[in-house]
Structure 1
Amino acid sequence: MTVDNAAPDTVPVPVPETVTAGFDDWLADLMGWLRIPSVSADPAHHGDVLTSAEYLAEALRRTGFPTVEVWTDTPALPAVYAHWPSGDPDALRVVVYGHHDVQPADGEERWHHPPFEPRVIDGVLHGRGASDDKGNIFMHLLGVRAHLAATGRTAPAVDLTLLVEGEEESGSPHIGQLLSRHAAQTSADLIVVTDTGIFDADTPSVCVGMRGVVSGELHVHGPDIDLHSGGFGGAVLNPLAELCRLVAALHDDDRHITVPGFYDGVVEPTTAERAATAALPFDESGWLSGPAQSRAAYGEAGWSTLERIGSRPTAEVNGMWGGYTGPGGKTIVPTDAIAKLTFRLVGHQDPAAVMAAVGAFFADRAAPGARVEMHWEGGGVRPLYVDPTHPATVATAAALGRAFDGKPVLFTREGGSGPEAELAEALEAPLVFIGVMTNNDQIHAPNENARVDLLRRGCAALGHLWEELAGLDRDFAQR
């Protein structure tokens, strides 16, 4: 192997050996980061988001990144930028994206251990952010050290940039401003997103699709004051009953979404894609009793559970409230009722078009006497699909396969959403996903965790990734 930018008298050390030797210190460093409650959704924790950014920045400096900055010059919560130039004039320019903010840790009575006091028990790291996304983004630190040791280089084989934002869990509302202001520092031939997972611990896979999402509240206003249900009930509109009627109208008996035009832009999976999904080693009963904690699979007729999660759009009710909810009874017709709704999008669905269609759907069906309004949260997130035959996707799968002892790497789609489509558009670059989260990690839920052996494999995969990508021509981005 010809090594550019090699240190004198350097003897290459295989990636697994470097990962093994440095893993305990790396894990201790990660656990220090997990202790910081960087909850972007809660203004009371915005100072912790800054502390989290500063912690990561210092860890990146210790790793060897010559340029590290904490960005606070936009309305966005603090983001971390790091850059390590390859030194090779034709090196691929790679921007790694992830986030350091975490979900709220509400429902602490359901946590087996305090959410921000991380601990390892029986090979599992417990704590908020262990998987999503601190554990996965932190893998890059040990991964790049392993890459340098294995290649004998003094700088990565790619021009390596990390962009770790601080408000992904709040919908990345300022990611566009962040990228625009720092366009010169984030130019890229390829984007690597480290905020996804694998099919399961024994089945390495690369994500090739993320759903988009729009979120909002449906408000139904009835009488202008709460009314005595004996004197007025049955004679005026009850907004809670009307809310339930409208929400129920979103689906037909086959659980198809009834909003006119909602399916415009949906790209149906091909016969080959459906066959590949069906061939995945999915234990539905184990999934139901395990991570789903449910008693039956349920959803759009004609599609499997995995297809419903990754390939189909959804309409979900996240919460409903109104009227009296205290102890005992209070016989009223309430004045207002509200439901929180989210719509997951796939293919080429346009968030703006979906929001317009949903708003018109409710307005057209509102009963006399009801004032019905949809209040949307931002402009939504577009879905993204990655070509599994793209050279960068193939190289990513090869790196992951090396970390999993040569096991075949499959391609899957995930049901979550993030700013990936906006990233790809803003940077005008193709995108790949790599990460080691699993459905058992209880992401966004109490008792979030990550298997330590998978984090170790993830570090190794990233140790292999830059060498795999360095062998590609930069013009692949034009594909």
Structure 2
Amino acid sequence: MPSSAERDFVHAHIDDLHADLDAWVRIPSISADPSFAPEVERSATWLAEALRRTGFPTVEIWPTPGAPAVFAEWPSADDGAPVALVYGHHDVQPVDPVELWVHPPFEPTRVDGPDGPELHGRGASDDKGVLVVHLLGLRAHLAATGRDTPAVTVKVLIEGEEESGSPHFAALLEEHQDRLACDVVVVSDTGMAAPDIPSAVTAMRGLADAEITLRGPAVDLHSGSFGGAVPNPLHAMASLLAALHDDQGRVTLPGFYDKVRPLGERERELMGRVPFDEQAWLAGPAASRVATGEQGFTTLERTGARPTAEVNGMWGGYTGPGHKTIIPAEAHAKVTFRLVADQRPEDVAEQVRAWVDAHLPEGIEAEVHAPPGGVAPCASDLGSPWMDALLNSIAQAFDTDPGSVLFTREGGSGPEADLAEILRAPLLFLGVGLPNDRIHSPNERVLLPMLTRGAEAAAHLWRELAALRPRDRVDAAGH
């Protein structure tokens, strides 16, 4: 394999990365369970110490009304050097059901897998493994360039509540906006398409939700005495939800697609080159019989680049053993919507209310509860010099050319839009998790060779970003 100073350093010190990840995975930093709050604080303390050990002269733990975040800064000695902010999270998902884990979730265990050695444990991929590459990557950058400070000013903000919906993150960004000012945000909470396919996430979907309640009679009624004579809220709910999509698989909310940014030809072409075995996907992670959805789009486009609506739950009446012959007084449903650029979650509430009103039968009253906030979608500028720097970095780590780095989209949602909007900075996504890492599931794992590649890509990135001229950076900011 071709060599570079960055690669040589990473390979010579890869045991340091493995030791750091082992130590961090052993901390059960589950933010969703209040009983683990001390462990989330311990995770923040561990990370702060690791950043100081790496060489960051400024490291602080920032409290929030929930879990603490960690901030660090290492200024470049070069005048006019760009400022990059690395974002990720140190909290992890709950481990339930624990009986399905082959190895204890917080005892990091090495396993020989078909693609190479794996590390199993909660957080091994999401997000501790994907983040820990920056510790070694920055050291490799300094060693390769012979510098005492990075070629760019590197800031780090690692939150402790991402797995709980980042409820205090936007306020944290607002409070520390001056300290967090940057030219570009590097998000390390995503992945790549496959071990041998270098790729970059270019967008993340947003999220909005609503709970619908339909009311009919004032009380539950005897179905023999009143059935067929009064409206049944469960019947109305079934008809309502059946009308959520048309026969083309499109969401029927009025105005839902008005702001959707269409896929560009270049991105669609690069997404189409991502190898995807739909039958294997159905038999494996999807655990489904068929693929379905909005017509005119591939499965990968549907799960990453198109907005969706899903019924998450529906209930009402009697659901206990045997039967209870009633017409229920109420019916309920929970619905969520994944959004793409340039949709806004605050628009969805009124769209849902208008849709419910248009489909409501006579005699049924409706209440729509749509919590304020939601998650806004976000997307990178594919033609910016920042993106060129990222693609160059990934290409060097994978021994290929930048044009061979494919584009993917992340179907999930996170607080990245808050970073872009509050800090007014473009987003780059550098992550090395894989689709089969079983994040959020039992037996989460990370492929260790991917962490090696990630550390090298991170090392190259600081050099590539520093090479951008001031005019390039101004143009990228849209000024």
Question: Which residue of structure 2 aligns with residue 380 of structure 1?
Answer: 374
CA contact (8 A) 2:267 2:407 kept: no
Q: 2:48 aligns with which of 19, 37, 57?
A: 57
Question: How far apart are residue 235 of structure 1 and its match?
Answer: 4.2
1:137 aligns with 2:128: no
**C-alpha spacing 1:353/1:457, structure 2 compared with 1 (3 Å):** same
CA contact (8 A) 2:20 2:132 kept: no
Question: Which residue of structure 2 aligns with residue 92 of structure 1?
Answer: 82
Higher mean C-alpha displacement, 84-93 vs 38-47: 38-47
1:206 aligns with 2:205: no
Question: How far apart are residue 234 of structure 1 and its match?
Answer: 4.1
Instruction: Return the alpha-carbon distance in structure 1 between the equivalents of residues 151 and 198 of structure 2.
Output: 24
Question: Which residue of structure 2 aligns with residue 164 of structure 1?
Answer: 158
CA contact (8 A) 1:95 1:186 kept: yes
Instruction: Return the alpha-carbon distance in structure 1 between the equivalents of residues 156 and 85 of structure 2.
Output: 6
Question: Which residue of structure 2 aligns with residue 9 of structure 1?
Answer: none
SS class of match (2:436): helix
CA contact (8 A) 1:435 1:458 kept: yes
- Deviation digits for residues 326-369 of structure 1, max 9, x if unmatched? 44444444444332221111121121112210122123323344
Instruction: Return the alpha-carbon distance in structure 2 between the equivalents of residues 322 and 400 of structure 1.
Output: 51
1:437 aligns with 2:433: yes
- Deviation digits for residues 228-284 of structure 1, max 9, x if unmatched? 444544444443333322222111122111111110101222344333332332222
Instruction: Return the alpha-carbon distance in structure 1 between the equivalents of residues 290 and 248 of structure 2.
Output: 16
Instruction: Return the alpha-carbon distance in structure 2 between the equivalents of residues 228 and 369 of structure 1.
Output: 18
Q: 2:32 aligns with which of 27, 41, 44?
A: 41
Q: 1:117 aligns with which of 93, 100, 107?
A: 107
Q: How does 1:310-459 map to 2 (within 5 A)?
A: 310-406=304-400, 408-459=404-455
1:32 aligns with 2:28: no
**C-alpha spacing 1:36/1:353, structure 2 compared with 1 (3 Å):** same
**C-alpha spacing 1:135/1:327, structure 2 compared with 1 (3 Å):** farther
**C-alpha spacing 1:47/1:248, structure 2 compared with 1 (3 Å):** farther
Could you state the TM-score of these two structures normalised by the residue count of structure 2?
0.91
**C-alpha spacing 1:170/1:222, structure 2 compared with 1 (3 Å):** farther
Instruction: Return the alpha-carbon distance in structure 2 between the equivalents of residues 355 and 112 of structure 1.
Output: 43
Instruction: Return the alpha-carbon distance in structure 2 between the equivalents of residues 179 and 79 of structure 1.
Output: 11
SS class of match (2:13): helix
SS class of match (2:212): strand
Question: How far apart are residue 298 of structure 1 and its match?
Answer: 0.8
RMSD over aligned CA atoms reads 2.2
CA contact (8 A) 1:213 1:344 kept: yes
CA contact (8 A) 1:219 1:374 kept: yes
CA contact (8 A) 2:205 2:338 kept: yes
SS class of match (2:294): coil
CA contact (8 A) 1:81 1:162 kept: yes
Higher mean C-alpha displacement, 223-232 vs 441-450: 223-232
1:149 aligns with 2:120: no
CA contact (8 A) 1:189 1:474 kept: no
SS class of match (1:120): strand
Q: Which letter does structure 2 place at the counterpart of 1:142?
A: L
SS class of match (1:418): coil
How many residues align? The count is 467
Question: Which residue of structure 1 aligns with residue 57 of structure 2?
Answer: 66
1:478 aligns with 2:474: no
**C-alpha spacing 1:111/1:376, structure 2 compared with 1 (3 Å):** farther
Instruction: Return the alpha-carbon distance in structure 2 between the equivalents of residues 280 and 257 of structure 1.
Output: 26
Identical columns (%): 55
SS class of match (1:157): coil
Name structure 1 gaps, 5 residues minimum. 1-11
Question: How far apart are residue 226 of structure 1 and its match?
Answer: 4.3
Higher mean C-alpha displacement, 350-359 vs 406-415: 406-415
Q: How does 1:154-193 map to 2 (within 5 A)?
A: 154-193=148-187
**C-alpha spacing 1:360/1:44, structure 2 compared with 1 (3 Å):** farther
- Deviation digits for residues 270-304 of structure 1, max 9, x if unmatched? 34433333233222222222322222111111111
Instruction: Return the alpha-carbon distance in structure 2 between the equivalents of residues 51 and 173 of structure 1.
Output: 20
Question: Which residue of structure 1 aligns with residue 8 of structure 2?
Answer: 17
Higher mean C-alpha displacement, 149-158 vs 403-412: 403-412
**C-alpha spacing 1:338/1:45, structure 2 compared with 1 (3 Å):** farther
CA contact (8 A) 2:273 2:406 kept: no
Could you state the TM-score of these two structures normalised by the residue count of structure 1?
0.91
**C-alpha spacing 1:20/1:329, structure 2 compared with 1 (3 Å):** farther
- Deviation digits for residues 69-116 of structure 1, max 9, x if unmatched? 1111x4342111111111222111111111112223233333333333
Name structure 2 gaps, 5 residues minimum. none
**C-alpha spacing 1:406/1:272, structure 2 compared with 1 (3 Å):** closer
Question: How far apart are residue 134 of structure 1 and its match?
Answer: 1.5
